[in-house]
Structure 1
Amino acid sequence: MEQRMCKCGLQAELKTSWTDNNPAMRFFHCSKDAKPCSYFEFIDPKPTLMQRNYIVKLRRERDALEAELRIKKWECNELKESEEVAWDKAGRIIVENHEMEDELKILKEEMKRLKAKCWWKNLVLCVLVMWLVVVVV
């Protein structure tokens, strides 16, 4: 591709126009950021009305698809974050469940110990009740 020099004596910058009037048309312009000169030159022939309309239509469809893609990526990230939160919550529930199971085992063992400790009290109570029945009758 040939190079062009602008009125400032600098190498002109090549860009592509995406306006509705000049879609996909390449042009040279001054490359200075501060106070550029007025150099401007299209290097592509002007498209026909049909070509221009088709390019504009395709650009708009592409823009719509890119916007939809950005939305889908955002939704995907939201789902990933929700999934991470759900897995974290599930992990905490599993830990709590194990802790509760351990506590239940301890309580069951304590219950057995208390029952074993109290068997003689029940025996004494039964003997007293039988003695009362015998004495009263």
Structure 2
Amino acid sequence: MVLCTCGLQCVVRTSWTNRNPGRLFYSCPTYNSSFPFIGWVDPSMCDRSLDIIPGLLRTRDALEDGLALEQERADWEEHRANKEETRANQAELRAKMEEERAKKLRKYLIITWVLFASYVYLQI
């Protein structure tokens, strides 16, 4: 158990700096402490690792950014397709409503002509 200078038990954190990528270190558990670094948990890495790991991390970050951008674009395309589908469905619904209205008007016109013809026939 490693204690911080403030008296609390240290926590183990991971460094992601270019100089010490992936190294574990002891840190004060208090947020924004004046003792952010107490000491290393593991030994330092070889020089080759220090050259390779930051490049790998940058490549991974670039791929994740590209993937996020592609996902955002796919979401936008899906939203646009749904919007167009909704518009098409609304237009289809309006066309059906107009067709039903036209059928009703034809029925009323036929009934009106039948009543008119009946009236004229009865007047003769």
TMscore range, shorter length? 0.7 to 0.9
Unaligned runs of 5+ in 1: 117-137
Is the 8 Å Cα contact of residues 10 and 31 (structure 1) preserved in structure 2?
A: yes
- Measured against aligned partners, the alpha-carbon deviations of 1:43-79 in whole angstroms (never above 9, x if no partner) come to 2221122111211111111111111121122112212
Letter in 2 for 1:43: V
* 1:47/1:103 CA distance change after superposition, 3 Å: same
Give the stretch that moved more between structures: 104-113 or 14-23.
Answer: 104-113
Percent of residue pairs identical = 25
C-alpha deviations, 1:1-32, integer Å up to 9, x for none? xx321112211111111111111111001122
In the TM superposition, 1:22-101 aligns within 5 A as: 22-33=20-31, 35-37=33-35, 40-101=38-99
Larger gyration radius, structure 1 or structure 2: 1
Change (3 A) 1:71 1:34: closer
Compute the RMSD of aligned alpha carbons.
2.6
Q: 1:69 to 1:39 in 2, by over 3 A?
A: closer
Distance 1:38 1:20 in 2: 18
State the shift of 1:113 in Å.
Answer: 8.0
In terms of mean alpha carbon deviation, does 36-45 or 52-61 score higher?
Answer: 36-45
Offset of residue 84 of structure 1:
2.0
Which stretches of structure 1, 4 residues or more, deviate above 3 A after TM superposition?
34-39, 103-116
Cα separation, 1, equivalents of 2:21 and 2:64: 18
Q: Distance in 2 between matches of 1:99 and 1:109?
A: 15
- What TM-score do you get using the length of structure 2 for normalisation? 0.74
Q: TM-score, normalised by structure 1?
A: 0.68
Q: How many residues align?
A: 115
Q: Tell me which residue corresponds to 1:129.
A: none
